[in-house]
Amino acid sequence: MSELAFIAIDWGTTNRRAYAIASDGAVIQTLRDDKGVLSVAAGSFVGEVAKIRKRLGDVPVLCAGMVGSTRGWVEAPYAQCPAGIDALVERLVWVEPGRTAIIPGVAQLHGRCDVMRGEEVQVLGAVVSGMAPGDALLCQPGTHSKWVRMKHGQIADFRTAMTGEMFALLRNHSLLGDFLKADVVAGPAFQEGLELATDNHLLSDLFGERAAVVLGQRDVDDTASRVSGLLIGSDVRDQVIAAGGTVYILADQALGALYAAAVTATGARPVMLDSHAAFLAGITAIWDTIDGH
């Protein structure tokens, strides 16, 4: 077995995943739990990392994600676009000198403000590993979907859409809530929502979904899928993807399939990528750059 080199932690808001990574880049062991930053009390991050080292090994640790936010361990100032692996390494925050570092997020400041934390490791990893080319459009669907344009292997520009959060708000806190209880599936109702998105009347079309059920024109069980198609379709069309272009999608299979259908509907080509493999490739490239110095 290869020698343990470092531990990588993808530390999000609600979940955490730690990887013990060997000197040849192989993953020796993985831990996953619900100890996201919101469940860790201020001043307790040192102890949390110590527990992970006790289980995985006493080696350096690289942390990415919301652990570097104002709510996390220590705020890691953003690197600015354009940003590649070297820019992230230059702005590492060593919370335990030589032992534990937090990877900075990336900020977009060119006329429009945007930020990311954690996603930068994935998209750069997708490129350095050859999963995606150095000039590409990558999509990371989720609560806050990221659309990242890569140029010459760097994050050149990106845009965040509150697509997943909007669906959750509609489901839990809106007049549509009682109509959105069913699971979302990539079937005919979802496709109808994608088609509806081409009308560019998002706000009025959302209310129309309720009206159609109340008037007996549509089945309530289809509403969640139609609304999801409307939101995701609007998100994808906002990106103005060229017909025949390619979008590299980093997501789990279920959500990725919805976005792939929406991309296909615009005439572009979706390519599904393994988001976990991309993260590991990115954080290993960061480690190799540190170790090489």
What is the C-alpha to C-alpha distance for residues 77 and 54, in angstroms, rounded to an integer?
Answer: 29
Residues 159, 91, 291: CA angle, nearest 5 degrees: 115
Q: How far apart are CA 94 and CA 62, in angstroms?
A: 9
pLDDT at 292: 62
Residue 243: what pLDDT?
87
Write the secondary structure of 115-151 as one string of H (helix), E (strand) and C (coil). Answer: EECCHHHHHHHHHHCCCCCCCEEEEECCCCEEEEEEE
pTM: 0.94
| 192-246 pLDDT tens trace | 999 999 999 999 999 999 999 999 999 999 999 999 999 999 999 999 898 899 9
The answer on pLDDT for 95 being more than 90 is yes
Q: Which of 212, 219, 161 is nearest to 187 (CA)?
A: 219
Q: So what's the pLDDT on residue 1?
A: 57
pLDDT score recorded for residue 110: 80
- Say which residue, 292 or 235, is predicted with more confidence: 235
**Residue 242: predicted pLDDT:** 87
DSSP string, 72-95: SSS--PPEESSB-HHHHHHT-EEE
State the DSSP code for 170: H
- Domains recognised in the chain with CATH numbers: 4-131+276-292 (3.30.420.300), 161-273 (3.30.420.310)
Q: What is the mean pLDDT of residues 9-20?
A: 96
User: Stretch 247-260: mean pLDDT, rounded?
Assistant: 96
33-87 pLDDT, tens digit each:
999 999 999 999 999 999 999 999 999 999 999 999 999 999 999 999 999 999 9
Please give, one letter per residue, the 3-state secondary structure of 242-257: CCCCEEEEECCHHHHH
Per residue in 107-151, pLDDT tens?
999 878 999 999 999 999 999 999 999 999 999 999 999 999 999
